[in-house]
Chains A and B, each alone.
Chain A
Amino acid sequence: MHWLAKPATERSTQIFIGVLTAALVAVCLLNLLLPAGHPLHVSTYTVTLLGKYLCYALLAVAVDLVWGYLGILSLGHGAFFALGGYAMGMYLMRQIGDRGVYGHPVLPDFMVFLDWESLPWYWHGFDMAWFAFLMVLLVPGLLALVFGFLAFRSRVTGVYLSIITQALTFALMLAFFRNEMGFGGNNGLTDFKELLTFDLSADSTRLGLFVASGLALGLGYWLCRAIVSSKLGRVCVASRDAEARTRFLGYRVERVQLFVFVVSAMLAGVAGALYVPQVGIINPSVFSPLFSIEIVVWVALGGRATLYGAVIGAILVNYAKTVFTGVMPDAWLFALGGLFVIATVVLPQGLAGLLAKRKRGKPTASAKGVKEATA
């Protein structure tokens, strides 16, 4: 059987895709068919919020792919997410055209404000949708390729890799905060008008973006499942559990690591690109090390090396964040900090591990591997 079709036979993937499709259809129907006052009506605001969660979920799947199956704890995946988001943001900025505050036909507002004469070279081409969408994949992918090539070739792994990925996103954050970089500095890119000629403030566009995020999550999940259940995926798990042994068996571990790392970075980029039009802004705070490490805790809480656990974790934690920041904003950091501790000390296999335990009375084979790898 073709490796891409393999996930169709897996029970967990069938359930996941089924639940996701049902949720997407249900939300669409509840939003479109029921009148605004109905108790079961899902408002467009909620749809956008859910769309944001789905983007986060895709990002969490990307992190789980490298952390859960490759054993590489990336504390810099927020950088790939942000780069995808910036690529999309640049396209959306160019779509504004002369409708900005200063009404300049080509330059975005912040460049006019900074007295720039012309568009920097790296802004060219972003007025074309196909180019921008290609960049959403290529820019994070290229960064991951260069960074991963250097890191995996010299066998930087474990904590060292975590710390330098964190330094990477920190350096990028500092860089993007600079106005001279040409990405809007502190304020980032915002005031978007339309995407592919669809008005971004229209309810239908928002619902469309939500569905697109759901589809992206489904496809991303499928792709990751296909990778981890292929032969390559087995090499991944092998290198996670015993890197030296895998190498001695003749596998080029660093190539496998590089491939999976780049795929993961591209998925993160796609998540970022879908996130930006829904939130309406992208700024350097997405590069902050705190955000990147938050992603990891979503995965840790949901359960490593399960993929669906990452989705559950991302949605749960972000729902909690929305609730907390609304009701008692001061308590959010306490809760998040507590989550970090609980997820690692009390729930080393996450919620998914808890589910599996209840079902079978023992940890899943995959989760067991994780435990051994880290022990």
Chain B
Amino acid sequence: MNLLRTIKATLLFWCCVALATPVLAQQTNIAEQDVPPELAALAADSYADKGKAIQALIASDHPRTRTWLTTLLDGKLQRIKESGRFVIVTDNRGRDWTVIDAVDDTPLGEVSRRNIDRITINNALRNQLRSAMAVLDLDAPTVQERLASADRLLGKVDVNLAEPLAARLEAEESPAVRDKLTQALAIYQLQSGDSAAISEAIDTLSGSLNPAVRAALNGVAAGEGEAAESARQALAGIEQKLKLNRAAETLYFGLSLGSVLVLAAIGLAITFGVMGVINMAHGELIMLGAYTTWMMQQLLPGQPGLALILSIPAGFLVAAVAGIIIERSVIRFLKGRPLETLLATFGVSLILQQLVRTLVSPLNRTVVTPEWMSGSLVINEALSLTLNRLYVLGFALVVFAGIMLVMRKTRLGLEVRAVTQNRAMARSMGIRATRVDIMTFALGSGVAGLAGVALSQLTNVGPNLGQSYIIDSFMVVVFGGVGNLWGTLVAGMSLGVINQVLEPWAGAILAKIIVLVFIILFIQKRPRGLFPQKGRAAEG
């Protein structure tokens, strides 16, 4: 057989070269096509006959069924006029089209397009083909592919498909795919007219979040009678579930926004809250972290993931060094003069912004999101969590835990607390207060750099990045209670959630205004924030 095929092909090739298209009649004489009856039936005259032919083809289990159906759907399954040979068009540019044999894939060279007849199909046939192929795809080896094809079948099942599907359902092993197939069949049952079958189908479908299921149930609920009543009940149940999912989504987005706020504010909670230094350039340190990520990605082209991971220590270092420079050159001269510190560091923030504008660009830079961070985690059909936000949320918690560890369990943390509570006493106990100042400020600034690395995955990286976070960060720290790291976490998360809850009915900007006004009023009521410092720390 193989030998024969080779001879056929060789002959054909030479024919093509020597005779070219005008002598096509001779060409087909050389290699006769052995047309299976299932394929021949597809070329029937009426669409009804073609539909039957497709069903027969699926039932036949012919190994090339899938190829033929796909090409038929794409309009690539065609016939050469003179010989009636079935071919598949592989290239239809220009006047001569490249074709291969539909039965055995033999290359047939180029044929003038006027010599080819397309096997036409209509929309009904197209739908039939798509569902038929979805059924065929149910044979795919991986569960994921089978699930996807089962999903495509929802609401598409008709009389012809019901039986093969039911058979397939018996053979299916994966429970997820079985669920989907049961739903697909149940949707079909809804239209069956048999009241027992309908009520059984409604039972099956109640609780599903799929839009196709809801559409089908809505169709039944629009009618009258017992079935419509139970459909309405099922819909109400689904609506309830959807509401829960929407609430979960809002909570997720709120926590995500909150994690951004916490990340931006946690460094400030150290420099402002613990040390009492107002650093208005904190936002610009965040910006430096974000730009470090961009820079790393420029240095390591094609490896955004690796660059991002390397940016975490790099961003920390860059921001920490910048923080030390700010502390040594400006802040240490203004010790104990908070308002002046505020103004001077604001000046530093302007200089840093302009520096980035001059050295890099006034325009936003794009930071690539690595593949493992894009996409989303699908919980169910109504709820999917974007992965990058999930990562940032996790990152914020890790950073927070790390800071808590440093402040609670390390020597540095102990010394920081000692110096902030009673500087003179700490010094007389042999703690080098100046060194502690520098280290603490570097830690707070470095965390700002980490925030920048995380933010580069969520927002635009530009010279104004920091400015947009500085007021929010201060609000979070003040709201949570100055000097209290837990307060910062709770305040950031709750402000994020409040913002997201308000957003649907107030709009993004109004929600922000409401939150700001809320904090302003809250501070009037509790000037020391949610969790005020108690004991000795409060006196300092």
Shortest C-beta distance, A268 to chain B (Å), equals 19
B347 touches A336 (CB 8 A): yes
Pick the contact of A164 from B346, B358, B510, B520 — CB < 8 Å? B520
Q: Which residues of B contact A147 (CB under 8 A)?
A: 520
A300 and B341 alpha carbons, distance in the complex (Å): 12
B527 touches A337 (CB 8 A): no
Q: Which residues of B contact A159 (CB under 8 A)?
A: 278, 338-339, 342
Pick the contact of A178 from B338, B510, B519 — CB < 8 Å? B510
A171 touches B513 (CB 8 A): yes
Shortest C-beta distance, A301 to chain B (Å), equals 10
B342 touches A162 (CB 8 A): yes
- Given A333-B353, A345-B330, do A340 and B344 touch, yes or no (CB 8 Å)? yes
A348 contacts partner chain B, Cβ-Cβ < 8 Å = yes
B40 contacts partner chain A, Cβ-Cβ < 8 Å = no
B344 touches A341 (CB 8 A): yes
Q: Which residue of A lies closest to B352 (CB)?
A: A337
A261 and B333 alpha carbons, distance in the complex (Å): 30
A130 contacts partner chain B, Cβ-Cβ < 8 Å = no
Q: Which residues of B contact A170 (CB under 8 A)?
A: 471, 516
Q: Which residues of B contact A336 (CB under 8 A)?
A: 347, 350
B348 touches A160 (CB 8 A): no
A151 touches B524 (CB 8 A): yes
B517 touches A171 (CB 8 A): yes
**Chain B interfacial residues counted at CB < 8 A:** 41
B348 touches A341 (CB 8 A): yes
Q: Which residues of B contact A154 (CB under 8 A)?
A: 523-525, 527
- Given A150-B521, A159-B278, do A375 and B336 touch, yes or no (CB 8 Å)? yes
A351 contacts partner chain B, Cβ-Cβ < 8 Å = no
A344 and B345 alpha carbons, distance in the complex (Å): 10
- Given A174-B513, A343-B343, do A337 and B354 touch, yes or no (CB 8 Å)? yes
Shortest C-beta distance, B281 to chain A (Å), equals 10
A167 touches B520 (CB 8 A): yes
Q: Which residues of A contact B357 (CB under 8 A)?
A: 330, 333
A333 touches B354 (CB 8 A): yes
- Given A154-B527, A158-B338, do A344 and B343 touch, yes or no (CB 8 Å)? yes
Pick the contact of A345 from B334, B524, B525 — CB < 8 Å? B334
Q: Which residue of A lies closest to B347 (CB)?
A: A340
A348 touches B340 (CB 8 A): yes
From 342 to 386 in chain B, residues with beta carbon under 8 angstroms from any chain A beta carbon are 342-344, 346-351, 353-355, 357-358
A156 contacts partner chain B, Cβ-Cβ < 8 Å = yes
B478 contacts partner chain A, Cβ-Cβ < 8 Å = yes
Interface string of B464-476 (1 = CB under 8 A from A): 0000000100110
Shortest C-beta distance, B282 to chain A (Å), equals 12
Q: Which residues of A contact B246 (CB under 8 A)?
A: none
A156 touches B350 (CB 8 A): no
B243 contacts partner chain A, Cβ-Cβ < 8 Å = no
- Given A171-B517, A345-B334, do A337 and B351 touch, yes or no (CB 8 Å)? yes
Shortest C-beta distance, A75 to chain B (Å), equals 8
Interface string of A171-186 (1 = CB under 8 A from B): 1001101100000000
A163 touches B343 (CB 8 A): no
Q: Which residue of A lies closest to B508 (CB)?
A: A174
A337 touches B348 (CB 8 A): yes
What is the size category of the interface that chain A forms with chain B?
35 or more
Q: Is the interface of B mostly helix, strand, loop or mixed?
A: helix
A124 and B348 alpha carbons, distance in the complex (Å): 45
B171 contacts partner chain A, Cβ-Cβ < 8 Å = no
Q: Which residues of B contact A375 (CB under 8 A)?
A: 336-337
Interface string of A137-175 (1 = CB under 8 A from B): 000000000010011011110111011101110110011
Q: Which residues of B contact A339 (CB under 8 A)?
A: 347
A197 contacts partner chain B, Cβ-Cβ < 8 Å = no
A289 and B510 alpha carbons, distance in the complex (Å): 18
Q: Which residues of B contact A293 (CB under 8 A)?
A: 343, 346
Q: Which residues of A contact B520 (CB under 8 A)?
A: 147, 164, 167-168, 171
Shortest C-beta distance, A285 to chain B (Å), equals 13
Q: Which residue of A lies closest to B512 (CB)?
A: A174
B330 touches A333 (CB 8 A): no
A338 contacts partner chain B, Cβ-Cβ < 8 Å = yes
A344 and B527 alpha carbons, distance in the complex (Å): 27
A167 touches B471 (CB 8 A): yes
B358 touches A330 (CB 8 A): yes
A341 touches B512 (CB 8 A): no
A156 touches B523 (CB 8 A): yes
Pick the contact of A160 from B336, B521, B523 — CB < 8 Å? B523
Q: Which residues of A contact B343 (CB under 8 A)?
A: 293, 296-297, 300, 340, 343-344
Shortest C-beta distance, A256 to chain B (Å), equals 18
A122 contacts partner chain B, Cβ-Cβ < 8 Å = no
B167 contacts partner chain A, Cβ-Cβ < 8 Å = no
Q: Which residues of B contact A330 (CB under 8 A)?
A: 354, 357-358
Q: Which residues of B contact A289 (CB under 8 A)?
A: 471
From 335 to 360 in chain A, residues with beta carbon under 8 angstroms from any chain B beta carbon are 336-341, 343-345, 348
Shortest C-beta distance, A165 to chain B (Å), equals 9
A334 contacts partner chain B, Cβ-Cβ < 8 Å = yes
Q: Which residues of A contact B354 (CB under 8 A)?
A: 330, 333-334, 337
A167 touches B516 (CB 8 A): yes
Q: Which residues of A contact B341 (CB under 8 A)?
A: 344
A374 contacts partner chain B, Cβ-Cβ < 8 Å = yes
Interface string of B319-345 (1 = CB under 8 A from A): 000000000001001101111111110
- Given A178-B510, A333-B351, A334-B354, do A158 and B339 touch, yes or no (CB 8 Å)? yes
A330 and B361 alpha carbons, distance in the complex (Å): 12
Interface pairs A-B: 9 shortest CB-CB = A340-B347, A337-B350, A337-B351, A333-B354, A171-B516, A150-B524, A337-B347, A344-B344, A344-B340
Given contacts A341-B351, A374-B337, list 11 more A-B pairs with CB under 8 A: A151-B524, A159-B338, A159-B342, A163-B478, A164-B523, A178-B510, A300-B343, A333-B357, A334-B354, A338-B347, A345-B340
